[in-house]
């Protein structure tokens, strides 16, 4: 999962990424921040194009996005005026000790080098501050979504992820987890656009990309819950893992 080719594959498709990737449900972001009074100081690690950054700004907090990929940072600055992103990574953040009340990571924690990132995040957080990685995960209990995941090799199943991320090292209390359901609506073209922003697709060779495109069109044209629809719901479960710095 931490293959650097995949970890830094998103920048080339930053505009599409920002357009097609799902937003995070407000209830999930609020739970991640555990009732912190606004404005709290929040660092968004692996901020990408700022999808989570904007969700946190909307709750009235100060956000410092940190992102290693220059293409993603440029898109963030276009889409989120007034909130410039810092060049950095979870393993090396250009901010002083204790600068954050909370550190969030949307769809990004699984790319980090855990030991180095845990130490760096513990340095950044004040005592009692919160670390909360968040993932929007497709709900593969719906049959066509499971088929979509097979076609586009969309990665780990929700339950694998939940089992894997409960321990953030000795500087943190044991993590708590919560799930939030949401169902954004998409057009067929938006679903194709979303798949094309996934790291598997971005790093696949042209032949494999053509196979994914063809199988995806077939799914859209033939599956009874999708065929002929202008819009449909894509069910997601959002997983939040939250741990307090000791």
**Which residue number, 194 or 220, has a Cβ lying nearer to ligand SAM?**
194
CB of 37 to ligand SAM, least distance (A): 24
Nearer to ligand SAM, 40 or 103 (CB): 103
Query: Rounded to the nearest whole angstrom, what is the least distance from the CB of residue 107 to ligand SAM in the complex?
Result: 4
Cβ–Cβ contacts within 10 Å for residue 237, how many? Answer: 19
Contact residues toward ligand SAM (CB under 6 A) are 7-8, 10, 21, 45-48, 51-52, 67-69, 72, 89-91, 106-108, 111-112
Spatial separation of the C-alpha atoms in residues 149 and 142, rounded to whole Å: 11
- Segments of the chain assigned E as strands: 41-45, 62-67, 86-87, 100-106, 125-138, 176-182, 185-186, 232-233, 236-244
Angstrom distance (rounded) from CA 78 to CA 215: 34
Q: Nearest approach, Cβ of 215 to ligand SAM (angstroms)? A: 22
**Who's near 206: CB < 8 A, 6+ residues apart?**
none
Distance in angstroms (rounded) separating the CA atoms of residues 10 and 75:
11
Q: Which residue lies nearer to ligand SAM by CB, 134 or 219?
A: 134
Please check whether residue 116 is in contact with residue 91, taking contact to mean a CB–CB distance below 8 angstroms: yes
Give 45 or 137: the residue with its C-beta nearer to ligand SAM.
45
Q: Are 117 and 57 in contact (CB under 8 A)?
A: no
- Cβ neighbours of 134 (radius 10 Å): 24
Please report how close the Cβ of residue 85 comes to ligand SAM at its closest, in angstroms: 10
- The answer to whether 76 and 66 are in contact (CB under 8 A) is no
End-to-end CA distance of the chain: 28
How near is the Cβ of 196 to ligand SAM at its closest, in Å? Answer: 13
Closest distance of CB 115 from ligand SAM, Å: 12
Measured from the CB atom, the residue of 52 and 154 that comes closer to ligand SAM is 52
69 or 101, CB closer to ligand SAM?
Answer: 69
Assess contact for 133 and 44: CB atoms under 8 A.
no
Our CB check for ligand SAM shows the closer of 102 and 220 to be 102
Q: Which residue is nearest to ligand SAM (CB)?
A: 48
Q: In the complex, what is the shortest distance from the CB of residue 221 to ligand SAM, in angstroms, rounded to a whole number?
A: 28
The answer to whether the CB of 111 falls within 8 A of the CB of 89 is no
């Amino acid at each position: 999962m931490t293959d650097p080719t995949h970890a830094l594959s998103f920048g080339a498709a930053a505009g599409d990424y920002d357009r097609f990737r799902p937003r995070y449900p407000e209830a999930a972001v609020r739970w991640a921040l555990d009732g912190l009074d606004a404005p709290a100081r929040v660092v968004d690690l692996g901020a990408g194009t700022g999808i989570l950054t904007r969700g946190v700004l909307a709750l009235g907090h100060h956000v410092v996005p940190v992102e290693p990929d220059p293409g993603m940072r440029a898109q963030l600055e276009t889409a989120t005026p007034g909130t410039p992103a810092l060049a950095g990574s979870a393993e090396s953040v250009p901010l002083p000790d204790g600068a954050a009340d909370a550190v969030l990571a949307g769809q990004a924690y699984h790319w980090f080098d855990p030991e180095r990132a845990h130490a760096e995040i513990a340095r950044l957080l004040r005592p009692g501050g919160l670390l909360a990685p968040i993932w929007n995960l497709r709900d593969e209990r719906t049959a066509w979504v499971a088929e979509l995941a097979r076609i586009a090799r969309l990665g780990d199943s929700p339950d694998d992820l939940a089992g894997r991320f409960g321990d953030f090292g000795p500087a943190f209390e044991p993590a708590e987890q919560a799930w939030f359901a949401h169902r954004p609506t998409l057009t067929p073209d938006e679903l194709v656009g979303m798949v094309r922003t996934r790291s598997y697709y971005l790093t696949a060779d042209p032949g494999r990309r053509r196979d994914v495109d063809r199988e995806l069109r077939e799914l859209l044209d033939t599956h009874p819950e999708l065929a002929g629809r202008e819009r449909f719901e894509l069910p997601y479960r959002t997983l939040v893992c939250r741990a307090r710095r000791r």
